[in-house]
Structure 1
Amino acid sequence: MSKVVVTGGSGFVGGHCIAQLIAAGHDVRTTVRDMSRAEEVRRAAGSNGEDSSRVDIVTADLLNDAGWAEAAEGADYILHVASPFPSDAPANADELIIPARDGALRVLRAARDAGVKRVVMTSSFAAVGYGIPQREQPFDERDWTDPSEPSVQAYMQSKFYAERAAWDFIDREGGELELSVINPTGIFGPVLGSDVSTSVGLIQGLLAGAMPKVPRISFGAVDVRDVADLHIRAMTAPAARGERFIAVAGKALWLIEAAHILREELGVSAAKVPLEEMPDAEVRRLAERAPALEAMVPQLGILREATAGKAERLLGWQPRPARDAIIATARSLMNMEPTPAA
């Protein structure tokens, strides 16, 4: 088995990657910014009953060079999952763009210098399908977000610039290092630790009845376990070299559809979930004093379809249905029943 480094081991996707790698018999090293989270990382890694004591945990931060050479030493592969994601919109887009871009380059340089075979980088559909006019044709891996469009927010810009910088690095100075990129849509599924995706936060908000009505927004959905599986498939498959792969399970969902799924599946436990859509004008009015709603305004009424046909065709990837991912998220958050990591 191989030695695999997972950056951002305390994160939602990182935790599931580690759990699946251990289950497959790989030696795993992971990076955290703060070693105080080491025990949390081990608990998540052992969530499927595997021995997480053998996970090597080291300190490295995307914001500086220290620790990355040591993290990459002796590794066959790196899954670069770590990326900044703020709870609030930054005052300046560079607050997100620079750490994401420079952090990716730090990981790639360390990987190249250590003789790593391949880096699999977690990008996002945010780097694929925004700033582009709405269309019926699904987005695929040939598409790129236009960061110059005013509707493209800082997070989307950061994903675009970080991924572009990674591909440019490989072309210009990557040497023998190979790169594959995963572009997930909204990531749902069972929570292993305290770090969750913004998508999971949507389900939390619905269950808590945080809003009396649901904004008219849509999203592609994919289960975090399938995102981790796609990373691991891309890690070794010859066909994945130099390729990007969209991770999405079927058609996009409107948020109101997710609300109905929760009500139908969970019954009284989802009694606070709203089943009415909020008029766009009301969302815009409330957004003036609610940052979370403000971020939704440019996306109101827009449906973006994407296809995972490339991952299915080249890597044999078969994701769970989006409905199952939504339900798994809710059950995990409510602690109704344990869900295995793989």
Structure 2
Amino acid sequence: MATPQDIILVTGGTGFIGARLIFQLLQKGHTVRTTIRSLTKEASLRSALTEAGASPSNLTVFAADLTSDAGWAEAINGCTYIHHVASPFPATNPKSEDDLIVPAKEGTLRVLRLARDAQVKRVIVTSSFAAIGYGHQPRTESNPFTEEDWSVLDNLAIPVPAYQKSKTIAERAAWDFISSEGEGLELAVVNPVAVFGPLIGKDVGTSNSIVKRMIDGSVPGCPQLYFGAVDVRDVAALHILCMDSPAAVGERFLAVNDDPNVSMLDVAKTVKKGRPELAKKAPTMQLPNFVVKLIGLFDPGVKLIVAELGKRMPASNGKAKKVLGWQPVNTETSLLDTVDSLVAQGIL
């Protein structure tokens, strides 16, 4: 278990998950370091943490990028634990898959290599459901995805998008490194599904942007998409449990709440019912698949989701609950807290 004397590094500190994890660690009295791509964002990060109720006096910020060696050794030396959260995430398909795969894989290996050399005790890597549930046929709630599953990248019948490939390849590389070159370095992995919940700062997060677009009226209808959901506060808490528990070593943990199949229409209905004055423009109809496919011909962002239309991909949280005692909040609480946070930040 981490002590107040231990130094803890969180990579990607200005991101949606990274900032929340820093906040929770500071709240627990830990000494925290973080890496961000540019120190021009340091002041806004400190301000956001203060506004959220944490004192950033125990936070040290380093400039480091996934694509370069610069800054990483300084950030890592002296740390006992590392939460490697940073990873590239595209708004549209990249021109080349390697634009995502190379920095995700090499960035992870760089952190692990330096962590080993600096005698760090444990690294917790933020992977994703993307490394578990893609390239498969749809599942049922009686046969959900678990930590035993891996995304299948060589199934030509079910192509896997670049982001999902990058997370799968990066996580596999991490486990291979620990097995062959880790020299006693401990590894645990967190695999979140779609992450909602309140913001720290202005980074909305990929999933929260769906809520924002529904409320501001920029989404005319709901594609037939299904996904697991989890709150960012619970994702951060699971990282800390993985840091503190000996039982987490050598394990991966799905971060998903108890609602196995949340649809886009469910999201719209929840915010419309819970915050009716704000969500007057939220869509109430489901878009036919052919309409979404047609839009995808002209909109690269929509094209990303076409292959997932109608697929149900339930995932189990049984392992995190049983092994670590993790207890996530429900989807409704997470979504409504998201809306309230977007309003408080002036984004809605």
Q: TM-score scaled to structure 1, two decimals?
A: 0.96
Where 2:152 maps in the other structure, the secondary structure is coil
Please provide the CA RMSD for this pair.
1.2
Structure 1 match to 2:80: 76
Aligned pair partner of 1:325 in 329, 334, 338: 334
Structure 1 match to 2:56: 52
Q: 2:134 aligned with 1:130, yes or no?
A: yes
Structure 1 match to 2:123: 119
- Deviation for aligned residue 1:135: 2.0
Where 1:193 maps in the other structure, the secondary structure is coil
Query: Identity of paired residues, percent?
Result: 46
Aligned pair partner of 1:148 in 150, 154, 157: 154
Q: 2:192 aligned with 1:184, yes or no?
A: yes
Paired with 2:117 and 2:174, the residues of 1 have a C-alpha distance of 15
Paired with 2:209 and 2:278, the residues of 1 have a C-alpha distance of 17
Paired with 1:211 and 1:261, the residues of 2 have a C-alpha distance of 15
Q: Structure 2, unaligned stretches of length 5 or more?
A: none
Residue type of the alignment partner of 2:336 = I
Paired with 2:51 and 2:78, the residues of 1 have a C-alpha distance of 26
Paired with 2:219 and 2:28, the residues of 1 have a C-alpha distance of 42
Where 1:107 maps in the other structure, the secondary structure is helix
Paired with 1:74 and 1:211, the residues of 2 have a C-alpha distance of 47
- Deviation for aligned residue 1:21: 0.4
Paired with 1:52 and 1:190, the residues of 2 have a C-alpha distance of 19
Structure 2 counterparts to residues 1-342 of structure 1, below 5 A:
1=4, 2-136=6-140, 137-149=143-155, 150-250=158-258, 251-335=260-344
Residue type of the alignment partner of 1:158 = S
Contact 1:121 1:182 in 2 (8 A): yes
Aligned residues: 337
Where 1:56 maps in the other structure, the secondary structure is strand
Paired with 1:291 and 1:191, the residues of 2 have a C-alpha distance of 26
- Deviation for aligned residue 1:196: 2.9
Where 1:267 maps in the other structure, the secondary structure is coil
Q: Structure 1, unaligned stretches of length 5 or more?
A: 338-342
Paired with 2:154 and 2:203, the residues of 1 have a C-alpha distance of 30
Where 2:239 maps in the other structure, the secondary structure is helix
Q: TM-score scaled to structure 2, two decimals?
A: 0.95
- Deviation for aligned residue 1:133: 0.8
Paired with 2:146 and 2:304, the residues of 1 have a C-alpha distance of 24
Paired with 2:211 and 2:153, the residues of 1 have a C-alpha distance of 28
